[in-house]
């Protein structure tokens, strides 16, 4: 993995490259970034850069013996640790290294959910167990074989539980030239004892434009599709890539048409819409609802006079402007609440027909309210 293969994050890349030039590579670092920010990919690219035998100004060379082994994640001085589902008590991350290499190679932006898919996990809890902690200590007690550095990348230290305390000594007083790179998503869920011993590298979400550009140039998306997915994914490239796999087109038209039918209270047509929703499949239903919530939020921004914050493609913006004629901020809030509830229930496997019928009826009520009494606690039911 080279820095050039990673979407955006130019400031982080520069900062990492500088640690080498300025000779201040910290032996224990915590890469903290939300899902889909590329934090794992950055950790691997950084490790490859540190080990590269022919470093370029701002990236590894991609061609030296070390880089070639890194590209396959098969360098003897590169180690990974990650959550897994132990079938036997002495299973460690190494038991699943083949799956790990495949998963990362297929998608360096993988989520824990994607990773579960490689593990045949059923419903078991993922964690990093004590056997794995001992394995880490053992691996890191040797000197590097080939490189200047021996590097351990530990993905999702949130799953260490208190067993992680076994690692404190080795994080604090590592062997010379041994580096720990922890890659985490939630600072709150990491053992404080570990947090206080690592140097924090904050990795932001990607921007709307970065995701959109990536979809346009690397995934052959049309302008409209790229804009819609970039908008829905909210800075999460993992999510955006997952949406590419789904039939994601046309949420906008569908959503607006649905609101129109609800507004004009056309019972039969609403029913046929409900049938259509029910057949969409759960992931699509969730994305559709998420689209609706985002779209309503943009309408609110328009009504609140904050049009400069609105991020919609031209066609959708035009519709949003028209929608503000029949919406109010209050009504939008109620609709948005209904959609949030619906999203919650879809995730929990509610019957989609009943659910979407119910939401439609609520939206019909809300859109057709003449006024909402000031200060009333009207929550449509
Ligand atoms: Zn190289």
Domain boundary among 204, 233, 263: 204
Taking the centre of ligand 1 as the mean of its atom positions, its distance from the CA of residue 203, in whole angstroms, is 24
173 and 30 part of one domain = yes
pLDDT at 373: 52
Q: Considering the domain boundaries, does residue 180 fall inside one?
A: yes
69 and 121 part of one domain = yes
CATH of the domain at 156: 3.40.50.300
Taking the centre of ligand 1 as the mean of its atom positions, its distance from the CA of residue 50, in whole angstroms, is 9
pLDDT at 46: 98
272 and 172 part of one domain = no
Q: Considering the domain boundaries, does residue 75 fall inside one?
A: yes
Taking the centre of ligand 1 as the mean of its atom positions, its distance from the CA of residue 70, in whole angstroms, is 9
200 and 258 part of one domain = no
How many Cβ atoms are within 10 Å of 313's Cβ, its own excluded? 17
pLDDT at 299: 92
Compute and round to an integer the Cα radius of gyration of the chain.
Answer: 25
Domain boundary among 204, 236, 264: 204
30 and 164 part of one domain = yes
The set of residues, in sequence order, having a beta carbon less than 8 Å from that of 99 and lying 6+ positions away, is 118, 119
134 and 57 part of one domain = yes
- State which residues have CB under 5 angstroms from ligand 1, the bound ion: 52, 54, 60-61, 64, 67
Number of domains present in the structure of the chain: 2
Q: Considering the domain boundaries, does residue 223 fall inside one?
A: no
Produce one character per residue of 340-368: b if its CB has 16 or more CB atoms within 10 Å, e if not: ebbbebbeeebebeebbbbbbbbbbbbbe
350 and 253 part of one domain = yes
Distance CA 370, CA 24 (A): 65
104 and 159 part of one domain = yes
pLDDT at 378: 46
Kindly give the parts of the chain with pLDDT less than 50: 248, 375-381
pLDDT at 133: 92
Q: Considering the domain boundaries, does residue 380 fall inside one?
A: no
Q: What is the pTM of this model?
A: 0.71
pLDDT at 375: 47
Taking the centre of ligand 1 as the mean of its atom positions, its distance from the CA of residue 177, in whole angstroms, is 18
21 and 156 part of one domain = yes
Q: Considering the domain boundaries, does residue 216 fall inside one?
A: no
- The domain of 296 spans 246-368
Taking the centre of ligand 1 as the mean of its atom positions, its distance from the CA of residue 236, in whole angstroms, is 29
13 and 146 part of one domain = yes
- Give the H or E element holding residue 217: helix 208-218
Distance CA 248, CA 60 (A): 37
pLDDT at 123: 57
Q: Considering the domain boundaries, does residue 149 fall inside one?
A: yes
194 and 253 part of one domain = no
Q: Considering the domain boundaries, does residue 218 fall inside one?
A: no
pLDDT at 169: 85
Taking the centre of ligand 1 as the mean of its atom positions, its distance from the CA of residue 32, in whole angstroms, is 26
Domain boundary among 152, 175, 204: 204
Distance CA 191, CA 184 (A): 12
Taking the centre of ligand 1 as the mean of its atom positions, its distance from the CA of residue 4, in whole angstroms, is 13
197 and 270 part of one domain = no
CATH of the domain at 309: 1.20.272
Taking the centre of ligand 1 as the mean of its atom positions, its distance from the CA of residue 68, in whole angstroms, is 7
Taking the centre of ligand 1 as the mean of its atom positions, its distance from the CA of residue 40, in whole angstroms, is 19
Taking the centre of ligand 1 as the mean of its atom positions, its distance from the CA of residue 175, in whole angstroms, is 24
Q: Considering the domain boundaries, does residue 235 fall inside one?
A: no
Residue with token string 């000594």: 169
Taking the centre of ligand 1 as the mean of its atom positions, its distance from the CA of residue 150, in whole angstroms, is 16
How many Cβ atoms are within 10 Å of 305's Cβ, its own excluded? 7
Taking the centre of ligand 1 as the mean of its atom positions, its distance from the CA of residue 24, in whole angstroms, is 20
């Amino acid at each position: 993995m080279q820095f050039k293969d990673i979407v955006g994050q130019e400031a982080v890349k520069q900062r990492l490259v500088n640690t080498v030039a300025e000779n201040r590579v910290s032996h224990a670092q915590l890469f903290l970034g939300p899902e889909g920010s590329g934090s794992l990919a950055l950790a691997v690219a950084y490790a490859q850069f540190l080990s590269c035998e022919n470093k370029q100004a701002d990236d590894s060379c991609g061609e030296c013996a070390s880089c070639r082994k890194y590209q396959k994640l098969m360098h003897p001085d590169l180690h990974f640790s990650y959550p897994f589902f132990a079938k036997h008590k002495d299973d460690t991350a190494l038991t699943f290294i083949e799956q790990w290499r495949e998963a990362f190679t297929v998608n360096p932006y993988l989520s824990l959910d994607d990773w579960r898919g490689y593990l045949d996990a059923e419903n078991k809890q993922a964690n990093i167990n004590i056997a794995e902690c001992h394995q880490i200590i053992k691996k890191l007690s040797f000197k590097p074989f080939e490189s200047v550095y021996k590097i351990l990348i530990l993905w999702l230290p949130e799953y260490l539980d208190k067993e992680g305390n076994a690692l404190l000594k080795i994080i604090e007083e590592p062997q010379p030239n041994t580096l720990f790179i922890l890659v985490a998503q939630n600072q709150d869920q990491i053992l404080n004892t570990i947090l206080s011993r690592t140097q924090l590298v904050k990795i932001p979400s990607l921007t709307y434009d970065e995701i959109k550009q990536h979809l346009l140039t690397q995934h052959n998306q049309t302008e409209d599709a790229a804009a819609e997915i970039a908008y829905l994914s909210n800075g999460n490239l993992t999510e955006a890539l997952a949406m590419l796999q789904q039939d994601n087109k046309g949420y906008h038209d569908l959503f607006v048409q649905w609101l129109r039918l609800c507004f004009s209270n056309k019972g039969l047509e609403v029913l046929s819409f409900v049938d259509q929703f029910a057949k969409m499949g759960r992931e699509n239903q969730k994305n559709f609802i998420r689209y609706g919530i985002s779209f309503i939020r943009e309408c609110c921004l328009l009504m609140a006079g904050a049009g400069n914050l609105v991020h919609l493609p031209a066609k959708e913006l035009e519709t949003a402007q028209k929608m503000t004629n029949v919406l109010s901020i209050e009504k939008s809030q109620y609709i948005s609440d209904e959609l949030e509830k619906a999203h919650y229930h879809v995730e929990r496997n509610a019957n989609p027909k009943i659910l979407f019928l119910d939401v439609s009826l609520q939206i019909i009520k809300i859109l057709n309210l003449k006024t909402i009494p000031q200060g009333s606690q009207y929550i449509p039911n």
